[in-house]
Amino acid sequence: MEKLYQRFRGTSDVAILALNVDDDPKAMTQALSELKVSIPSVAAAILRIRLSGDALPANWVITEEDRDVSGQR
């Protein structure tokens, strides 16, 4: 994911984000820092993403229209 983020970093049509599903947003930021991952972390609750009981980690592809096109759901 880091390589993908670095490839599309700075483009206006693709965003790569780490969704933080933890109760403590600082924990995710610290974990990414320790792993030397520069992907921005966003709280999933802010994006109103409904996470099912699927195993994490997981990847989603979401369009501007808020449609999940990843085929995982």
Residue 12 in this model has a pLDDT that exceeds 70: yes
Q: What pLDDT score was predicted for residue 34?
A: 92
Q: What is the mean pLDDT of the chain?
A: 75
Give this prediction's pTM. 0.57
Residue at token pair 């990843």 = 70
Q: Which residues of 7-40 are buried (b: 16+ CB within 10 A; e: fewer)?
A: eeeeeeeeebebbbeeeeeeebeeebeeeeeebe
The answer to whether residue 30 scores a pLDDT higher than 50 is yes
pLDDT, residue 73, reads 44
Is residue 28 within 8 Å of 46, Cβ to Cβ? no
